[in-house]
Amino acid sequence: MIDTHRLSSQFTCVKKLDSVIDQPSLFGDTVVKSDAAVPNGGGFSDPSFAVNKEIPIHRWVPWIAGFSRNFVSDALSRYLSKPGTVLDPFAGVGTTLVESILAGHDVIGFEINPYAAMACRLKLMAHRVNTEKLRAAIRDFEVFYDHASQNEYRPFSTPPQGFSTRSAFYSPKVLYKVLILQDFLAKNVAGTVRDLFSLAFASTMVSYSNYSYEPSLSRRVTGGKRDIFDFPVGEAITAKLRQMSKDIDWMRDQVGTNAINSRIYNTSFFNCRQHLDSGVVDLMITSPPYLNNYHYNRNTRPHLYWLGFTNAPKDFRPLEQDNFGKYWQTVRELDRLVLDFPNPDAELVRSLELVRAQKPEKGIYGGNGWANYAAAYFNDCYRFLKCAKWTLRRRGTALIVIGNNILQGVMIPTDRYLAKIAESIGLEVVDIHIPRATRIGNSIIQSGVRVGKAKSSDSLYEAVVELRKR
C-alpha cells in the first residue's frame, strides 16, 4: 500500500484556479511557475497554459482551467511507447485530445459543457476543413459587415431572449455590430464553416463586452475597468478566423493522411458505461474541477445563450446536477449531506466534521453549507474513480491533476483523499506527485496563501495523482 502522505516532486503541472496569478485577456487561466524540466524521470515541461496562447489549434479558445500542451506531450512520451487510446473525462477545450491526436493516438473525450464540447469537436476535425471555402466566407463577411456598418443597416437578429445580466452585456454600438455578425451567420454560411464562425465569435465575445473574468465572470466596473462603449467587432472576428484558417493548414500538415479516431461525448463522464466498453483506455490524462466552487457552466452563460445551447435558466439545471462536484449554491441549504460510498477514510470524515462545526451562526454561509459541498465533491470523486476503473485497460494509467483547498479555514488535502478512495475501489496508487510551484487562493478560503514547495500544512498546491489499474 502506498504512503499517500509522501509528497513526491517529480511532476510539474497546473489546473483549475482559486485566483489568477497571470490571466490572459479573454478567458484566463491560473498560471504557476515551475522549475525547468529534468530529463529521464524528472519534472515535466512548464505546465503554464500561457504557452498555449501561441500554439496552433490550442490558441483558438482561451480557457479558464487549461494546462499546457507540453505537460500532455511529456505524459504521452512517458506512458505510451506505441499508439494507444487516450481519454480525458473532463476534456475542456481539448488540450489533451489535440496533443494525443498529433502524437498518433486515438482519443476519447467527455465534456458536459456544450460550448467546450463544440470547441473540442472542431479542433479534432480541423484537418478536414476546406480552407478555401472558409477563406471565401471570411471575405464575404468582410464585404457584408463593411456595407452594413456604413449604410444604416437594421439587423433582424436579436439578443437571446433568455439571457439577462445585471447591466447591459454589450454597449449599444457593440451590440449593433454583434447583431450584424449574427445576421451574416443566419443567411450566408452553414455547416462546419458556420460553426467555425460561431467559435470565433464565442472565443472573443467577452473581450468586447462590459464583463470580464476576475476570475469569475463579473462586470468590468466591479474590477475597476471601464465599460467598452465601442469596439471593432468585425475586425476581431476576421482576425480570429484568419488565425484559425492558418492553423487548419498547419494541422493538416502535421496529421497528413493518417487516420484519426476521435470520439467526443457532450455528456457527463458518469455516463461512461452507456458509451464505452470496459477496458478500452491505455492512458487517462485529466483534471476534474477543483474543490473551489468555480462555476464553470455559469461562467460560460454568455457563450451558451448566444450559441443557442441554452434558452432559459432551467436549461442549466441538468448541467449543474450532472456536473462533477455539486456547486455550493445547490447543496448549501440541505440539512446534512454525508459521504455515500463504502468505508470513507477516517481523516476525510473528521475533516468534513471540522468544517461543518465552523460558524454555525452564519446559517447556509457557515460550515454546514461548505461541508455539504465538500461531501458532494468527494461522493463524485468516488463515482469518477469507479468510471475510471471501468474504462482503463489492465495496467493502464490515470494521471489526475488536482489541487487541495482550504474550506472555512480547514485544510482539505484533496489529492490524498482522492488517492484513498481510488485505493478503496482496487486501483493502485502509484504515487502522488507535487509540483514545484506557487499557487494563490482567495476565493473561498478566506485568506490568500502563497507557498513555495507546498510543504506547509496550510499551503495550496497542485498534485498529480498517478493511478494504475491492477
pLDDT along the chain (470 residues), means of 10: 40 39 28 29 46 83 78 94 96 95 96 96 94 97 95 95 93 98 94 97 97 90 94 97 97 84 96 97 95 84 96 90 86 92 96 95 92 96 98 97 92 96 97 68 36 48 93
- DSSP assigned state of 162: T
Residues paired with residue 429 on neighbouring β-strands, in sequence order: 467
Closest to 467 in 3D by CA, of 425, 404, 411: 425
pLDDT (0 to 100) of residue 65: 67
Going along the chain from its start, the domains and CATH numbers come out as 49-114+261-469 (3.40.50.150), 131-254 (no CATH)
Q: Are 241 and 200 in contact (CB under 8 A)?
A: yes
Residue with cell 485530445: 97
Q: What is the pLDDT of residue 460?
A: 84
Q: Are 228 and 220 in contact (CB under 8 A)?
A: yes
Q: What is the pLDDT of residue 416?
A: 96
Are 131 and 273 in contact by the 8 Å Cβ rule? The answer is no
Please, what is the average pLDDT of the chain?
85
Cell 500554439 appears where? 55
Where are the alpha helices (H) located in 327-468, listed in sequence order?
A: 328-331, 346-356, 367-391, 414-424
Q: Which residues of 183-214 are buried (b: 16+ CB within 10 A; e: fewer)?
A: bbbeeebeebbebbbbbbbbbbbbbbbbbbbb
- Residue 71 is inside which H or E element, if any? helix 69-79
The grid coordinates listed for 470 are: 491492477
Give the helix ranges, DSSP H, for 392-439: 414-424
Chain-centre distance of CA 270, in angstroms? 17
Using one digit for the tens of pLDDT, what is the confidence trace for 353-405?
999 999 999 988 999 999 999 999 999 999 999 999 999 999 999 999 998 99
Per the CB < 8 A criterion, the answer to whether 26 and 92 are in contact is no
Q: How high is the pLDDT of residue 180?
A: 97
Which pLDDT does position 220 carry in this prediction? 94
Q: What is the pLDDT of residue 66?
A: 66
- The whole-angstrom separation of Cα 66 and Cα 444 is 21
